[in-house]
């Protein structure tokens, strides 16, 4: 998780510069969207692979693939190669995230899961402190390619060691033990029949739909609108096959938990995408400031996650979800205020930090609830569903906000009004999540 966080946080601030050097600024939404779309596919494949053979194999594969993606992206000669590298990176990241959650679900007892998840969040602290600012300086003083190649050189040896450990027989045997049960406990009831594994075509269709939608929102003409429409149709038709039944009506238990994950993730990801864009295009902020904003958000997320895992571990999880959603609503309000010329230039940057505080309470609590609601031996399915709806939420919320933003610009509105409309739209999922949190309650 430490290696994943270092690569993820260091690479993101360099992508706008890379897109500019590769003459692909117009396709920048596709570069960002490829990562999200592939994460969706990687989460589905990793979750079902973990249920069939244990989490060690998909985790090892994702770790190795993460190094390859850095080399592919760093050697990019076109925006399409950079997009391909980001796609592979998303595939690896989705597999790693799901299999880590699955391993925690199998290896830790119920009362320690929140602490283990908080530890995973804490692994982002050092990368968040050094990754974005250092990457910004390297990009400004040298080249963005040095960031990718440097990360590959830094992580290849630890990645090989991790793969070797995960392939060891002792770790493989330990990872097969269900849910961290102690030998003294009575045996669990027989496992229910596993639902059929979704076809690869279904996961691929959803992933392609997400990528198509992200490409569609990068422009405002007939061709882009067609891609956006096709992408959203594919996601609507096929996504329900990857998610728990009853998700669209927020049924009690796992369906509501999974739906809430998509809402919160969509709000945070949209703020993370548009706040830096606002600072660069409307406020003239330097790249180093953008990196520091990402650093502050990552630290705030980790600190909030630590608080919920240590100091608030006895609170009902659904109440922490309500608190996180309300904090996100405050972040949205701050972002809207930051679009007005009367506010300081970097007011909007604080919205990223506030939203990260909300996500630090929101995301781990939903993960704990999803593991509590998952059937015995099906933690991989629950983690995969959470990863899928997280990526779908990012795509859908960002897509709708982008469409509103472009519509405002097309109608002659100012940049401040367009950004304000895109941010203001995010209040709806925040309020809805706070209202629906009780449906995710664990009995």
Which pair of structure tokens corresponds to residue 76? 């990019």
What is the rounded distance in angstroms from the CA atom of residue 329 to the CA atom of residue 116?
27
Please report the pLDDT score of residue 376 as a whole number: 66
Fold of 1-178: Growth Hormone; Chain: A; (1.20.1250)
What is the rounded distance in angstroms from the CA atom of residue 46 to the CA atom of residue 40?
10
DSSP string, 267-318: HHHHHHHHHHHHHHHTS---HHHHHHHHHHHHHHHHHHHHHHHHTSTTS-HH
**Which pLDDT band holds residue 227 (cuts at 50, 70, 90)?**
confident
CB burial of 312-348 (b: ≥16 within 10 Å; e: otherwise) equals bbeeebbebbbbbbbbbbebbbbbbbbbeeeeeeebb
Percent of the chain clearing pLDDT 70 (strictly above): 88
Residue 89 has pLDDT above 70, yes or no: yes
What is the rounded distance in angstroms from the CA atom of residue 295 to the CA atom of residue 291?
6
Sequence ranges of the domains in the chain:
1-178, 201-242, 244-443
Please report the pLDDT score of residue 443 as a whole number: 65
Burial zone of 223 (CB within 10 Å; 0-12 exposed, 13-18 middle, 19+ buried): exposed
Highest mean pLDDT (candidates 69-78, 87-96, 132-141, 370-379): 69-78
Q: Could you tell me the pTM of the whole model? A: 0.73
Mean residue pLDDT of the chain comes to 80
What is the rounded distance in angstroms from the CA atom of residue 254 to the CA atom of residue 26?
39
**Which pLDDT band holds residue 170 (cuts at 50, 70, 90)?**
low
What is the rounded distance in angstroms from the CA atom of residue 140 to the CA atom of residue 134?
10
Q: Choose among 429, 40, 79: nearest CA to 210.
A: 40
Highest mean pLDDT (candidates 48-57, 69-78, 127-136, 407-416): 69-78
Fold of 244-443: Growth Hormone; Chain: A; (1.20.1250)
Query: What pLDDT, in 10s, does the model give residues 368-397?
Result: 888 788 766 666 677 778 877 887 888 888
What is the rounded distance in angstroms from the CA atom of residue 289 to the CA atom of residue 301?
18
Query: What pLDDT, in 10s, does the model give residues 297-354?
Result: 888 888 888 888 777 777 788 889 999 999 999 999 999 998 988 888 788 889 999 9
Across the range 279-302, mean pLDDT stands at 78
What is the rounded distance in angstroms from the CA atom of residue 119 to the CA atom of residue 328?
22
Percent of the chain clearing pLDDT 90 (strictly above): 13
**Which pLDDT band holds residue 119 (cuts at 50, 70, 90)?**
confident
Q: Choose among 306, 386, 333, 350: nearest CA to 99.
A: 386
Give the relative orientation of helices 347-373 and 79-107 as an angle to the nearest 10 degrees: 50
1-178 matches 244-443 in fold: yes
**Which pLDDT band holds residue 203 (cuts at 50, 70, 90)?**
confident
Cα torsion through 429, 431, 435, 437, rounded to 10:
60
Kindly list the distances between the CA atom of residue 104 and the CA atoms of 175, 176, 285, 368, in Å, as whole numbers in the listed order: 9, 11, 40, 10
- Whose tokens are 């309650």? That residue is 441
**Which pLDDT band holds residue 180 (cuts at 50, 70, 90)?**
very low
Q: Choose among 430, 432, 435, 442: nearest CA to 315.
A: 442
Q: Choose among 276, 323, 289: nearest CA to 304.
A: 323
Please report the pLDDT score of residue 187 as a whole number: 46
Question: What angle (nearest 5°) sits at the alpha carbon of residue 425, between those of residues 87 and 274?
Answer: 45
Kindly list the distances between the CA atom of residue 312 and the CA atoms of 118, 305, 324, 325, 443, in Å, as whole numbers in the listed order: 12, 10, 13, 16, 18
Q: Choose among 365, 358, 299: nearest CA to 324.
A: 358
Residue 219 has pLDDT above 70, yes or no: no
């Amino acid at each position: 998780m430490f290696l994943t966080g270092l690569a993820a946080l260091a690479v993101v601030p360099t992508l706008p510069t890379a897109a500019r050097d590769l003459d692909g600024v117009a396709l920048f939404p596709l570069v960002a969207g490829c990562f999200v779309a592939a994460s969706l596919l990687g989460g589905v494949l990793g979750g079902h692979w973990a249920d069939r053979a244990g989490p060690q194999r998909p985790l090892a594969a994702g770790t190795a693939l993460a190094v390859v993606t850095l080399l592919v992206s760093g050697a990019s000669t076109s925006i399409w190669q950079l997009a391909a590298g980001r796609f592979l990176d998303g595939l690896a990241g989705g597999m790693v995230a799901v299999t880590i959650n699955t391993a925690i679900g199998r290896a830790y007892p119920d009362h320690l899961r929140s602490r283990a998840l908080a530890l995973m969040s804490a692994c982002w602290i050092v990368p968040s402190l050094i990754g974005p600012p250092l990457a910004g300086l390297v990009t400004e003083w040298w080249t963005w390619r040095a960031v990718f190649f440097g990360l590959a050189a830094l992580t290849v040896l630890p990645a090989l060691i991790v793969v070797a450990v995960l392939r060891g027989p002792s770790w493989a045997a330990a990872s097969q033990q269900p849910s961290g049960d102690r030998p003294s406990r009575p045996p669990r009831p027989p496992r229910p029949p596993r639902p059929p594994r979704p076809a690869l075509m279904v996961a691929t269709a959803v992933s392609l739909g997400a990528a198509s939608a992200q490409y569609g929102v990068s422009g405002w003409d007939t061709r882009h609108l067609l891609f956006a429409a096709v992408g959203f149709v594919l996601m609507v038709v096929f996504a329900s096959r990857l998610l728990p039944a009853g998700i669209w009506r927020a049924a009690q238990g796992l369906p509501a938990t999974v739906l809430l994950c998509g809402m919160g993730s969509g709000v945070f990801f949209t703020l993370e995408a548009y706040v830096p864009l606002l600072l660069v295009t409307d406020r003239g902020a330097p790249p180093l400031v953008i990196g520091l904003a990402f650093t502050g958000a990552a630290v705030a997320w980790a600190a909030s996650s630590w608080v919920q895992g240590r100091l608030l571990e006895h609170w009902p999880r659904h109440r922490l979800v309500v608190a996180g959603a309300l904090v996100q609503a405050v972040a949205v309000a701050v972002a809207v205020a930051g679009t007005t010329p009367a506010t300081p230039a970097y007011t909007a940057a604080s919205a990223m930090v506030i939203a990260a505080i909300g996500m630090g309470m929101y995301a781990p609590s939903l993960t704990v609830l999803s593991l509590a609601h998952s059937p015995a031996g099906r933690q991989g399915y629950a983690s995969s569903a959470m990863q899928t709806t997280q990526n779908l939420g990012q795509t859908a919320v960002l897509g709708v906000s982008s469409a509103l933003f472009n519509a405002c610009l097309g109608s002659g509105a100012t940049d401040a009004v367009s950004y304000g409309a895109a941010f203001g739209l995010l209040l709806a999922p925040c309020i809805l999540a706070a209202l629906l949190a009780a449906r995710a309650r664990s009995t």
